[in-house]
């Protein structure tokens, strides 16, 4: 398993790509409301990334993916393809943004609530974000990937939810998906040891019901087998000399950009 340790120049460019990805999520928030289609959200994001940011939407044509963003609604776990179906009051939606700027990727996603959502949907989203935050707070040289997996799994299961196994976080840089794989379940003290200069995503997918998923006939859209809700939050992280830095931090985040 070859993990690329990023240089100071790599890191500076990843900071820029990460900031741009975060800005897309901040920009699109006001457009997420009942009646809008995910096709329209995709168009708005695509135009913003290409024309305003002068960047590239990484998902478009990536292994044949047909759109510029992923939109995963309700029981869709990840990789939902934007379409002409309007969002309705009570929907929950994850919007996943990856931009390429100067050859480097920034990857981030968050949950949005359409109108008024059910309390359990709100709780699932909140716990999933907490899972991500708890994992990020552990990141520093010497931490192991199993430590990250365990803290996510324990917090999700303690709250009565389950962790999706089929999809995970990943190394990122000039390449969209590189080593290491960052599992969202596991045992503390196991797995690869983190080193300064590593960059990867932490992106737990947490289900209201069972962990089982299946991919639909389009080859992309992953859903919960029991059709219960799923939630996901994602940030791109750097391992610093003493802790972490979040490249994709937004104004609504409650975690600091860097560890103390």
pLDDT for the residue numbered 197: 99
SS3 assignment, position 184: coil
Sign for the pseudo-dihedral over CA of 148, 150, 153, 155:
negative
- State pLDDT tens for residues 217-260: 999 999 999 999 999 999 999 999 999 999 999 999 999 999 97
Task: Kindly indicate the confidence band of residue 1, based on its pLDDT and cuts at 50, 70 and 90.
Answer: low
> Under the phi-then-psi rule, with left for phi > 0, alpha for psi from -120 to 50, and beta for the rest, what region is 128?
alpha
Give the residue ranges of DSSP H helices in the chain.
8-28, 38-47, 119-138, 145-158
- State pLDDT tens for residues 61-99: 999 999 999 999 999 999 999 999 999 999 999 999 999
Task: Kindly indicate the confidence band of residue 2, based on its pLDDT and cuts at 50, 70 and 90.
Answer: confident
Return the ∠ at Cα 43 (arms to 40 and 48), rounded to 5°.
Answer: 130
- State pLDDT tens for residues 125-172: 999 999 999 999 999 999 999 999 999 999 999 999 999 999 999 999
Domain residues for the domain of 61 are 8-246
- The answer to whether position 20 is within a domain reads yes
- The answer to whether position 152 is within a domain reads yes
Q: In total, how many domains does the chain have?
A: 1
SS3 assignment, position 85: coil
Distances (CA, A) of 21 to 25, 118, 193, 249: 7, 28, 27, 9
Return the ∠ at Cα 170 (arms to 6 and 149), rounded to 5°.
Answer: 115
Query: With contact defined as beta carbons under 8 Å apart, do 173 and 4 qualify?
Result: yes
Residue 57 CA to residue 66 CA, distance in Å, equals: 11
- The answer to whether position 240 is within a domain reads yes
pLDDT for the residue numbered 209: 99
Count CB atoms within 10 A of the CB of residue 232: 26
- The answer to whether position 253 is within a domain reads no
Q: Which residues are annotated as a binding site for a divalent metal cation?
A: 96, 107, 170, 203, 234
- The answer to whether position 3 is within a domain reads no
- The answer to whether position 254 is within a domain reads no
- State pLDDT tens for residues 170-222: 999 999 999 999 999 999 999 999 999 999 999 999 999 999 999 999 999 99
pLDDT for the residue numbered 215: 98
- The answer to whether position 259 is within a domain reads no
Residue 240 CA to residue 83 CA, distance in Å, equals: 40
CATH code assigned at 75: 3.90.230.10
Q: Which residues are annotated as a binding site for substrate?
A: 79, 177
Mean pLDDT, rounded, for 5-29: 99
- The answer to whether position 55 is within a domain reads yes
Q: Encoding tokens for residue 191? A: 């797995």
Q: Which residues are annotated as a binding site?
A: 79, 96, 107, 170, 177, 203, 234
Burial class (CB within 10 angstroms; exposed 0-12, middle 13-18, buried 19+) of 6: buried
């Amino acid at each position: 398993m070859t993990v690329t340790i990023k240089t100071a120049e790599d890191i500076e460019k990843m900071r820029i790509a990460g900031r741009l990805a975060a800005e897309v999520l901040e920009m699109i928030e006001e457009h997420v409301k009942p009646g809008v289609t995910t096709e329209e959200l995709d168009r708005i994001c695509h135009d913003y990334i290409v024309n305003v940011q002068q960047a590239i939407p990484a998902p478009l044509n990536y292994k044949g993916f047909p759109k510029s963003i992923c939109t995963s609604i309700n029981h869709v776990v990840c990789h939902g393809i934007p379409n002409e179906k309007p969002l309705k009051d009570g929907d929950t939606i994850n919007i996943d943004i990856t931009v390429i700027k100067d050859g480097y990727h920034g990857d981030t996603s968050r949950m949005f609530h359409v109108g008024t959502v059910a309390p359990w949907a709100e709780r699932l989203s909140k716990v999933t974000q907490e899972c991500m935050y708890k994992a990020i707070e552990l990141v520093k040289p010497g931490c192991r990937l199993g430590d990250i997996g365990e803290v996510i799994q324990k917090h999700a299961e303690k709250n009565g939810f389950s962790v999706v196994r089929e999809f995970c976080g990943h190394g990122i840089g000039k390449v969209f998906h590189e080593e290491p794989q960052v599992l969202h379940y596991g045992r503390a003290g196991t797995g690869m040891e983190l080193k300064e200069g590593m960059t990867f995503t932490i992106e737990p997918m947490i289900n209201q019901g069972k962990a089982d998923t299946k991919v639909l006939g389009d080859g992309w859209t992953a859903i919960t087998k029991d059709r219960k809700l799923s939630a996901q939050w994602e940030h791109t992280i750097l391992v610093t000399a003493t802790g972490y830095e979040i490249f994709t931090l937004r104004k609504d985040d409650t975690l600091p950009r860097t560890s103390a």
